[in-house]
Amino acid sequence: MDIARQVASRATCDRKHVGAILVRDRTILSTGYNGSIRGLPHCSDVGHMMENGHCVATVHAEANAIIQAAKNGVRIDSERDKPTTLYTTASPCWPCFKLIANAGVHRIVYGEFYRDPRIFEYAGRLNIELVGPGPAEQPGGR
């Protein structure tokens, strides 16, 4: 998780810094942080595109880790007895969770719960292991 926190320090959205790393068999496969679409200015420089209290100008860290693996020809789906783990500083949002599941990742370790409890139900249905605090365990949680 320390490496994910280091990756998060590169995030270009000053509203929330998130880092993600994909690991299999103790080897880092890919990293990602939340930032603007490649080629566009950083939202922290030109302003945030806000919807429902969230900046939607950025590509999320988990998606960027998957994208970087694809761009570099790195296979990230779990192998027979070597599951791929995603370490992320915040639990994935619903769209990122769907990407992670379809990418073949079977374990998600996160540092803090972030906004979408659907991931718990669907992780169970898909046999994806979630490791981290639940919504009730967060300060101000339910």
Catalytic site includes residue 137: no
Number of domains in the chain: 1
CA end-to-end distance (rounded Å), the chain: 25
Q: Which domain holds residue 111?
A: 2-137
What CATH number has the domain bearing residue 84? 3.40.140.10
Place of tokens 């779990």: 78
Between CA 84 and CA 19 the distance in angstroms is 16
Would 142 be classed as within a structural domain? no
Judged by average pLDDT, the poorest of 21-30, 37-46, 58-67, 80-89 is 37-46
73-95 core/surface letters (b: 16 or more CB in 10 A; e: else): eeebebeeeebbbbbbbbbbbee
Would 70 be classed as within a structural domain? yes
Catalytic residue among 62, 79, 129, 137: 62
Would 65 be classed as within a structural domain? yes
Render pLDDT for 3-52 as a digit per residue (tens, 0 to 9): 999 999 999 888 889 999 999 999 999 999 999 888 888 887 888 777 88
